[in-house]
């Protein structure tokens, strides 16, 4: 017996092929299903039987045993209905298969229709790797089309799937010509706040984590939401990685747009980092992989949550262990945090009075310091303007900013990594002009800069030089970089 029908399951963010083995025995009319199925998979037996009958195929009169191999990989969901039905039909000799193998995914309705289900992306990825065609529910064709170069059959029913199997149907093109792109809010909507805009651009260019502080209503959230729009466009590889993470979370995400996740400060560790019962799923941190993780009201996040973020952010990976199963998710997110300068939000405002006691302000700010806060290279304060900037002309559109950001990233790529990841040693090895070194030295002597602050300023200065397409870091870059380390 040779298996030619496959499905897929995710382990962490890795899609793994699952072969659907069907054995027809001698005894009468039994249907066994093995290979760590969850309840939904186990119930596939009933759906498969009914769907086959409705589509005009008879169930074999012998004992049917279906094994989903590898048997120790947990399988979940309804996506195995279609491959099981196809596997049974092939084993029974009712259907011949024209392909060396096929990956199929889909939930069966009792009347034989194929419904949408989770795991489509995993299946298409497996299909690409194995070099075989893929059968998916018609409603899921767009998600499947994310993966280039796969012969795709989008089917509406079991009968149609059979005709795809027998080669009586032409594959749809591997990639839909124009995948829908969600509109992302544009920077042009932001009037004024030039300093914060610049901070955003730097953060995007060097993937520096960004901390925005300022009184309520100055546009912190508005700016953060516009960050995905100025990040460089996805590379195919990045988009695939993101798609895999989201597939692991059983989430469908808008295609072609960098993710933006804004967990609330009441979120659980599992919600933020990943976890959950059973198979660990990625949390918001990983769902923001290659995108933006926005922590609004950072001062309200409990300390343990903030601490938990630190290591994953440094490593770009988060490892979740549950009942002996250890799964690693990527989390190269750009973190943007927003905070008020004090509990009431109006400290240092030129118009409104702060109502906080000095002690409570002190306490609030102390919470905003610590190891994670050290990772925010770019810090901007959004202040009130003296006159009505709301009447000003619209800001520069995102696309123009994105061009500069992309250019700066290309330059960094040639050096071998993003500036936000540069270590002290790597910073030492960069090209600095004599004057730039003197400015840095002078600020250390004056006590303006201490160890970590020194590295932050140097990282930002390097990004400023890249934005200015300057080979060497000049003194002007360092001088400007000094502006982005103001505390809360």
Binding positions for another protein, rule: CB under 8 A: 192-195, 198, 213-214, 341, 347-350, 380-389, 391-392, 439, 442-443, 446, 448, 476, 478-483, 486-488
Q: Which helix (H) or strand (E) holds 76?
A: none
**CA 407 from centre of chain:** 23
Q: Closer CB to another protein, residue 324 or residue 388?
A: 388
Q: Closer CB to another protein, residue 323 or residue 446?
A: 446
Q: Mark out the alpha helices in 61-193 (DSSP H runs).
A: 81-91, 120-130, 141-144, 158-165
Closest approach, Cβ 353 to another protein, in A, equals: 9
Nearest to 241 by CA among 272, 274, 282: 282
131 near 177, Cβ under 8 Å?
no
Strands (DSSP E) found in 188-242: 210-213
Closest approach, Cβ 390 to another protein, in A, equals: 9
Q: Name the strands in the sheet holding 152-155, side by side, starting at the edge strand that comes first in the sequence.
A: 31-34, 62-69, 14-28, 5-11, 102-104, 134-137, 152-155
Q: Closer CB to another protein, residue 196 or residue 313?
A: 196
Q: Closer CB to another protein, residue 264 or residue 437?
A: 437
Query: Encoding tokens for residue 87?
Result: 């596997």
Q: Closer CB to another protein, residue 29 or residue 486?
A: 486
Closest approach, Cβ 379 to another protein, in A, equals: 9
Nearest to 85 by CA among 32, 20, 138, 39: 20
Name every residue whose Cβ is closer than 8 Å to that of residue 307 and which is 6 or more positions away in sequence: 370, 371, 372
Measured CA to CA in angstroms, residue 246 lies from 120, 275, 281, 283, 333 at distances of 11, 14, 9, 10, 14
Q: Which helix (H) or strand (E) holds 485?
A: none
Q: Closer CB to another protein, residue 250 or residue 448?
A: 448
Closest approach, Cβ 293 to another protein, in A, equals: 23
Q: Which helix (H) or strand (E) holds 204?
A: helix 194-206
Closest approach, Cβ 114 to another protein, in A, equals: 56
Closest approach, Cβ 292 to another protein, in A, equals: 22
| CB-CB neighbours of 323 under 10 Å | 9
Q: What are the two backbone dihedrals, phi and then psi, of residue 283, each rounded to the nearest 5 degrees?
A: -95, -170
Closest approach, Cβ 179 to another protein, in A, equals: 37
Q: Closer CB to another protein, residue 3 or residue 348?
A: 348
| CB-CB neighbours of 239 under 10 Å | 19
Closest approach, Cβ 480 to another protein, in A, equals: 4
Closest approach, Cβ 442 to another protein, in A, equals: 5
Q: Closer CB to another protein, residue 251 or residue 437?
A: 437
Q: Closer CB to another protein, residue 55 or residue 339?
A: 339
Q: Closer CB to another protein, residue 89 or residue 401?
A: 401
In this structure, are strands 292-295 and 334-339 parallel, antiparallel, or unpaired?
parallel
Closest approach, Cβ 279 to another protein, in A, equals: 45
166 near 135, Cβ under 8 Å?
no
Nearest to 408 by CA among 398, 400, 399, 418: 418
């Amino acid at each position: 017996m040779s298996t030619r029908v496959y499905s897929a399951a995710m382990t962490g963010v890795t899609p793994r092929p699952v072969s659907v083995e069907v054995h027809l025995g001698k005894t009468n009319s039994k249907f066994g299903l093995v290979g760590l199925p969850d309840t939904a998979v186990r119930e596939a037996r009933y759906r498969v039987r009914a769907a086959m009958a409705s589509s005009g195929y008879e169930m074999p009169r012998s004992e049917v045993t279906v094994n989903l191999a590898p048997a120790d990989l947990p399988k979940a969901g309804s996506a195995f209905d279609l491959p099981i039905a196809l596997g049974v039909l092939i084993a029974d000799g009712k259907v011949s298969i024209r392909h060396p193998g096929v990956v199929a995914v889909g939930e069966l309705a009792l009347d034989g229709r194929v419904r949408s289900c989770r795991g489509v992306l995993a299946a298409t990825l497996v299909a690409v790797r194995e070099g075989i065609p893929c059968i998916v529910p018609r409603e899921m064709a767009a998600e499947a089309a994310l993966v280039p170069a796969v012969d795709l059959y989008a089917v509406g029913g079991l009968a149609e799937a059979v005709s795809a199997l027998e080669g009586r149907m032409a594959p749809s093109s591997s990639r839909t010509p124009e995948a829908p792109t969600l509109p992302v809010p544009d920077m042009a909507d932001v009037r004024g706040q030039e300093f914060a805009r610049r901070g955003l651009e730097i953060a995007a260019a060097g993937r520096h984590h960004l901390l925005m502080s300022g009184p309520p209503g100055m546009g912190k959230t508005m700016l953060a939401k516009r960050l995905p729009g100025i990040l460089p466009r996805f590379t195919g590889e990045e988009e695939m990685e993101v798609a895999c993470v989201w597939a692991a979370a059983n989430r469908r995400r808008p295609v072609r747009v960098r993710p933006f996740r804004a967990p609330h400060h009441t979120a659980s560790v599992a919600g933020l980092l990943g976890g959950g019962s059973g198979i660990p799923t990625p949390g918001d941190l990983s769902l923001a992989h290659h995108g933006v993780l926005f922590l609004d009201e950072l001062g309200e996040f409990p300390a343990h949550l903030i601490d938990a973020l630190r290591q994953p952010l440094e490593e770009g990976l988060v490892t979740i262990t549950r009942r002996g199963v250890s799964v690693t998710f990527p989390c190269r997110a750009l973190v943007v945090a927003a905070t008020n300068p004090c509990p009431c939000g109006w400290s240092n405002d030129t118009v409104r009075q702060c109502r906080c006691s000095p002690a409570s302000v002190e306490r609030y700010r102390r919470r905003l310091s610590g190891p994670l806060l050290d990772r925010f290279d770019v810090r901007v304060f959004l202040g009130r303007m003296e006159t009505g900037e709301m009447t000003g002309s619209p800001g520069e559109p995102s696309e123009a900013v994105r061009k500069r950001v992309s250019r700066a990233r290309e330059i960094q790529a040639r050096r071998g990594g993003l500036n936000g990841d540069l270590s002290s040693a790597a910073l030492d090895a960069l090209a600095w002009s004599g004057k730039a070194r003197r400015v840095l030295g002078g600020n250390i002597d004056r006590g303006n800069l201490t160890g970590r602050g020194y590295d932050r300023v140097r990282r930002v200065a390097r990004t400023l030089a890249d934005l200015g397409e300057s080979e060497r870091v000049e003194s002007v870059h360092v001088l400007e970089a000094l502006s982005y380390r103001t505390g809360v």
